[in-house]
């Protein structure tokens, strides 16, 4: 009907839990909506666009449902945005919907990235183009530094968890051990530490409740 960018500023609130939903879309429409989201987003805010498009503009799912899907998409392995597209597609149209959503978000950008690379190869003898790309890489590295710092601030809630972050950084980044081994070893430790913290927080809350 319209593109997500132009409608993003629309004052319509997201769907609440009891609000009436629109009927689920056809597979082609699902594919097309996710294709547009994929093509119009740069540098990551895709999850925000999906949330807005699905629960505000098109009223396919409630906000609670989309946000719970986002949490799932973030903790599961795989690319977060792909996971979220899959989740939305599945809720709306089952297996075929999941496929349509994931293909929508991946297909067109994949073709474009290969085309950009082909064009670059044609002109790579211009030194300034190589410099431009090195500069883009440096700016992108800056974005990763920012992302890493934020993620560490959010997740290292106790010093043992900070040690987990540091351990993975040293193991994968500095010692260059195989990522599979490092995550398989430290992942369960991290989940166990978090579980212990959560149970302690619960106990503290209950005790203060009794006092």
Partner 1 sequence: MRNDLLWALFVMFVPLSLLSVGGGVSIIAALHHQTVETFGWLTEQQFVEVFAISRAAPGPGSMIVPLIGWKVAGLAGAAIASVAMFLPSSILVYGVAKLWNRYRGTPVHAAFERGLAAVAAGLILAGTLAIFQAAGTGWLAWIVAGGSAAILYWRNINPLWLLFGGGGLYALVMHFMK
**Interface of this chain with partner 1, residues 112 to 141, rule: CB under 8 A:** 112-114, 116-117, 120, 127-141
Binding marks (x or -) toward partner 1, 54..93, rule CB under 8 A? Answer: --------------xx-xxxxxxxxxxxxx--xx--xx--
Q: Tell me 13's DSSP state.
A: P
Pick 16 or 173: Cβ nearer partner 1:
173
Pick 28 or 179: Cβ nearer partner 1:
179
Min dist CB 82 to partner 1, Å, is 6
d(CA 82, CA 46): 10
Query: Among residue numbers 14 through 53, which ones bind partner 1 (CB under 8 A)?
Result: 38-44, 46
Min dist CB 3 to partner 1, Å, is 13
Query: Among residue numbers 145 through 204, which ones bind partner 1 (CB under 8 A)?
Result: 145-149, 151-152, 154-157, 161, 164-169, 171-174, 176, 178-180, 183-184, 186-187, 190-195, 197-199, 202
Min dist CB 97 to partner 1, Å, is 11
Structure tokens at 195: 């579980």
d(CA 179, CA 160): 20
d(CA 28, CA 96): 10
Describe the crossing of helices 80-123 and 63-75 by its angle, rounded to 10 degrees: 60
Nearest 5°: phi and psi at 135?
A: -65, -40
Nearest 5°: phi and psi at 77?
A: -65, 165
């Amino acid at each position: 009907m319209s593109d997500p960018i132009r409608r993003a500023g629309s004052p319509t609130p997201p769907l609440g839990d009891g609000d009436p939903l629109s009927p689920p879309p056809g597979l082609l429409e699902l594919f097309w909506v996710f294709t547009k989201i994929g093509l119009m987003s740069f540098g990551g805010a895709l999850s925000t666009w999906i949330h807005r498009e699905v629960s505000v503009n098109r009223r396919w799912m409630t906000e609670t449902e989309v946000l719970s899907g986002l949490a799932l998409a973030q903790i599961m392995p795989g690319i977060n945005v792909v996971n979220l597209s899959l989740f939305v597609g599945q809720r709306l149209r089952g297996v075929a919907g999941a496929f349509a959503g994931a293909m929508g978000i991946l297909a067109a950008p994949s073709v474009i990235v290969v085309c950009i690379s082909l064009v670059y190869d044609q002109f790579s003898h211009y030194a300034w183009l190589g410099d431009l790309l090195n500069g883009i890489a440096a700016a992108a590295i800056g974005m990763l530094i920012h992302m890493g710092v934020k993620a560490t601030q959010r997740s290292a809630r106790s010093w043992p968890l900070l040690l987990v972050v540091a351990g993975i950084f040293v193991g994968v980044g500095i010692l260059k051990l195989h990522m599979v081994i490092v995550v398989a070893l430290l992942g369960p430790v991290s989940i166990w530490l978090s579980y212990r913290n959560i149970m302690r927080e619960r106990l503290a809350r209950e005790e203060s409740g009794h006092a």
